[in-house]
Amino acid sequence: MSPTKVLILTAPIGSGHVAAAHALRAELEQYGHEATVIDGLQEMSPVPVGALNWIYISQLRHLPQPLAALLAITALRPVSDIVRFLVGVLFAGRLLRVIEEGRPDVIVSTYPLVTAALGYLRGRGKITVPVVALVTDYGVHPLWTSPGVDMHLVASDFSADMVRRAGGRVSVARLPVAPGFADAPARASSRAALGVPGGAFVVLIVGGGWGLGDTEGATRRAINAGAYTVVVAGHNRDLELRLEKRYGTERNVRVIGWTDKMPDLMAASDCLIQNAGGVTCLEAIEMDLPIIIFDPIPGHGRLNARAMETSGVACWARTADDLERLLKSAAGGKALPQASQEFRNAPKVSTAIEPLLRQNLSDC
């Protein structure tokens, strides 16, 4: 495929959408393409994105059930159709100006509301180049799809079926993660660099960039199971301080705030405990690190947990007791589920979009 100009539109709501956008840019540039990442939500919205992110994180921390109820309502086909239409009518015009200035050969969205606006524009012929949605969660909410989008790229056949039921065109791809996860050091050297005992059963606990979920409960249960426990609190400084106060003197517990050393931490670990965040789970799958889902976020987190469990790429510990039993079993040598060859054999995103680009060039 000849070099192309790719516009990647994302949004810093949480941290996974931006991480996916930059991972995709790295992959595309590796294959000689020109890729630009832009905050598409900021371009669309009259409200500062920082404020929107604060509202979103606050809801997840303090009002998760109303957010879950909203997601359940918008999962209804007529409601999701209305939401997409309103997003298009109210906000897509601002986004179109950015696209016309950039003149890309293909556009990729990593954020659902940006996808909705792009689908609105593409469906009405206002965008004439292919539009692709990169969906990083295994569980695909209907609102994250758009009939106007040329292709939705997902991580599994189970995810693809969810997109088809929502009326979208879809293809399974090996979704990109940051290059450091492919180049991570071996387990022994990672443990030596981090000061982790070489023969320990190591559990890595991550609550996403904002330290969400029952991280403290997961930490207690991992310690009870006899694991060397590494906890990443992310940007949640209060959580980091609470964990440090409680476990700071324990030799087999290590508490970390925000870090860019996640590839090294995963390389040193025997399993990951996560709240079903899409990108962190993709990173673990890339590194063959078994995943246990615990206390997923209500709504899309639980949707993702069910999808990952059904796809066989993760265990879902529904109670703290279940989590402790799983960890004790794994520490004793029983293997945890890992991603199948389906993930390994899927084409990279740069390959998956080739047919769309060929069609676009032939139409010119």
Q: What is the pLDDT along the chain (364 residues), one digit of tens a residue?
A: 566 899 999 999 877 899 999 999 999 999 889 999 999 999 998 777 777 777 777 777 777 788 788 889 999 999 999 999 999 999 999 999 999 998 999 999 999 999 999 999 999 999 999 999 999 999 999 999 999 999 999 999 999 999 999 999 999 999 999 999 988 889 999 999 888 888 899 999 998 887 888 999 999 999 999 999 999 998 899 999 999 999 989 999 999 999 999 999 999 999 999 987 789 999 999 899 999 999 998 888 899 999 999 988 999 999 999 999 999 999 988 888 776 566 778 888 888 888 887 766 556 5
H or E element that contains 194: helix 187-194
Whether the Cβ atoms of residue 171 and residue 352 lie closer than 8 Å to each other:
yes
Q: How far apart are CA 231 and CA 216, in angstroms?
A: 9
Two tokens, residue 205: 């606990």
Cβ-in-10-Å burial (0-12, 13-18, 19+) of 205 comes to: buried
Q: How far apart are CA 263 and CA 169, in angstroms?
A: 33
Cβ-in-10-Å burial (0-12, 13-18, 19+) of 250 comes to: exposed
Q: So what CATH class is 5-176+348-363?
A: alpha beta
For residue 153, which of 124, 133, 182 has the smallest C-alpha distance? 133
Q: How far apart are CA 104 and CA 263, in angstroms?
A: 32
Whether the Cβ atoms of residue 104 and residue 118 lie closer than 8 Å to each other:
no
Handedness of CA 288, 290, 296, 299 (dihedral sign): positive
Q: Which residue has the tokens 């508490």?
A: 255
Whether the Cβ atoms of residue 27 and residue 223 lie closer than 8 Å to each other:
no
Superfamily for domain range 179-343 = Glycogen Phosphorylase B; (3.40.50.2000)
* Separation in Å, CA 293 to CA 21, 35, 213, 326: 24, 33, 10, 11
Whether the Cβ atoms of residue 16 and residue 117 lie closer than 8 Å to each other:
no
What local confidence, expressed as pLDDT, does residue 117 receive? 96
Domain with CATH 3.40.50.2000 in the chain: 179-343
Phi and psi dihedrals of 327, rounded to 5? -65, -40
* Sequence-distant (≥ 6) Cβ neighbours of residue 134 within 8 angstroms: 20, 24, 108, 109, 110, 153, 175, 349
Whether the Cβ atoms of residue 154 and residue 170 lie closer than 8 Å to each other:
yes
Tell me which amino acid residue 266 is: M
Tell me which amino acid residue 156 is: S
Query: CA dihedral in degrees (41, 47, 51, 57; nearest 10)?
Result: -50
pTM for the structure as a whole: 0.91
Length of the chain counted residue by residue: 364
Tell me which amino acid residue 162 is: M
